[in-house]
Chain A
Amino acid sequence: MTPMLVTERVLAVLPDYVNGVDVSPDGRHTVAGSVSGHVCIADVDGDVRMFEAHDGDVVRAKWSHSGRFVATCGIDGALRIWDLAGSLVAEAQHRGWATDLAWRTGGDEVAAGIGRRVVRLLANGMKSVQHEEFPASVECVTWSEDGRRLFAGHYGGVAVFQGSAKPVKTFPWKGAPLVVAASSDGKWVVTGNQDASLHVWKVANGSELQMTGFSTKVLQIAWSRNSLRLANAAMNEISEWDFSGKGPKGSKPIGMVGHSGRIVGLEYSPMDHSILGSAATDGSVCLWHPVKSGRSMLLSHQTHRSLSTMTWSPTSLRMACGTASGEVVSLTFGEDAEEQP
């Protein structure tokens, strides 16, 4: 493997810790939210629009699949949809803190966990479905890739919604999920948990698997595009599980250690599905090609910034990262690096 070039560029600077970052489907715009309540939208030409989006921390900021809108949610209990100019398009409010949000594929609809409820909002301002409150706060939400199912994790398990206000299924489990992700083939849903475990359900029949023994709670999980591999991070360690064939039952994961700080971002590159990217609080960014024998690491790069979040651009081998001091940083790898201005 020839060494890859890395080009680092600061796209914008927010007033404080960056909680969420996302790149638009065309790869041209980056959105980021801060605990200061500010959101910025930066484009590749260097233009930045910054605006106050929430009273208190912005928890998530994400592009709609159409690329027309940005959704943000905050600890003020608000879910808001903005256009590219930063004008408010729609909003919804519920009692409690927002914890997570996810756009549905096919349709400008967003779902967020706010307090004990999943709140759904359309870009035209309509609330699509009114869900009832759970007995505990919603910690995480995600859609199936076809947009038919919505999964909501809360203390006590995962609820599956499909069209109606009541869950079509619930996967009860006495634990506290923190993050949830569904495989793109729709077969599996997995949560990373407070008790340092992963919990996996087969969506069709609810059969479950549990992976335990991580050093800390699991805040990062990522599915490969082909649904055959699942990666997770706990503290500075990454594990990748093989979901081909009968699944990972009884198998050992591929372990990857390259960071010395807590991993704050973990995703497979949409451009090259064999590449797993990770970022950590010690400023390190790693690219991996997970293999059972030998070295999985392709590259390790030190940004000398305390990273707080990371995501890939959908159109190039480029990462967008947030930092604890408010910077939004773009990292371009390999041949793409030379194309940068």
Chain B
Amino acid sequence: MKLKKLVIATLAASLMASGAARAADLSWMGYSYAEESAKPSVEKIIKGFEAKTGKTVEPIASSFGDMQKNLLLRARSKTLPSIAQISERWLPSLSKLPGLVDYNTVLGKEYLEKTYAPEALAMGQIDGKQLAIPLMSGSIGMVANQAVLDKAGIKDLPKTIEEFKTDLELIRDKVPNSVPYAMATKNNSDILVDFLTWEYVFGAHVIDPQGKVVVDSDASKKALAFLVDLMKNRLVAPEIGRPDARRLVGQNAAAFYLDAPQSRAFLRSFSGQGKAFDVNVKPMQVPSLKAGDTPVSIQWAHLIIAFAQSNPPTKEDANMMFAEYLGDDAVETQFPVEQSALPGTISARANPVVADDVYLTAWAKNNTHPLRNEVGIWSNGGELTDILAQEVQAALLAQKSPEEAIASMGERMKASMTKAGYAQ
């Protein structure tokens, strides 16, 4: 009798265990699922896929800040998800992960080129392989808050850095307790994007396409001196990261900041006014060094990478079916638009839902030539980001002069690149 009970219990436990193991056909790990404002949209995608294919999806949330780290840790513990959402600048560092699928070999190069916008598709390519496909794309550009500009009596958006500085001073003097330009002065990855933008505005570069560190230049020193001057004149403030900047702009306490087109979604949320706040969100060109210069912006995209479920991976694998589904108009005219970003597919971009969106059109018009993030793309991008942010912070907090900070940044970056195998 006892033996019988034991056998039944063992069988029940085994069945439960196998049921748990087969709980989902694929796992989707992404940061949008961890964001309150985007979670319902991700759930909609999952429901749509499950209804269409009968396959089940296990969503795994990971915050944006922890996503890259979590993927690398999961690779070590051999618990990688079937499919993951990544930022375009992480792709080079993740490109060596075991089992990463080359979409060309599964979905076909022709199909991908027919489906996705060329510049968006290019962000997922490394060494001729299509290691990621775009979920949504765009650029990191400048956003202005119309309500704050009105309070300061500013009629036109600034075009050059001189006009920009004049406007910032007006805001400082006429809008009490405001941060005229909510520049990122904390959080290394946020500082990186803001500093890179101004580097490009001043015609400077940090690392050339061959991996040579070129940051120690007069243009870089001028760019950093410009930012230090803004800090000295209380036109920017310390202790501000991207989330702080979004809150300040959303609460009409800052006039300008840099962000991805998702800005509108964040500001709707942080203002507490929802869509009513849209009238204040003005995409604009990043002020240029002199009138007529091409406005600067930085490439930005959410990409999808997949880890092989079979060897070799096939179109019938659940994760490949999901990846293909993400390129469907049902997803691409819904998710990116809800997130206030451009879809990655050609057909979704032509869809009236996207084409008639005034904000997205304005964003695309103002940021026509997004440049590559030339720091984050290297395999030692983490260390380079830390170095850059530390030196920029040191200059902003007057611990070093801009010249000293740039020289030190150059030396430290050269050492890091040499160690990573890039000759200097």
Query: Are these two chains actual partners, yes or no?
Result: no
Residues of B within 8 A of A (CB): none
